[in-house]
Amino acid sequence: MRLTLLAAGSRGDIQPMVALGKGLAHAGHAVKL
C-alpha cells in the first residue's frame, strides 16, 4: 500500500509520524512523509 503521512508543528508533533512511517515501511508499505 502507498501512504502519505502529513505532519505539521514542532519536532514533538512530527517525531511520532516518523516512527509510524518507519514501522509501516518495515511492514512493506511505501511511505512518503
- pTM attached to this predicted model: 0.81
Distance CA 33, CA 4 (A): 6
d(C-alpha 19, C-alpha 16), whole Å: 5
Which residue is associated with the grid cell 502529513? 6
- Which of the four pLDDT bands, split at 50, 70 and 90, describes residue 3? very high
Per-residue pLDDT, 7:
93
What pLDDT was estimated at residue 24?
Answer: 98
pLDDT at 25: 98
Q: What is the pLDDT of residue 8?
A: 93
CA 14 to chain centre: 9
Q: What is the pLDDT of residues 4-30, one digit of tens each?
A: 999 999 999 999 999 999 999 999 999
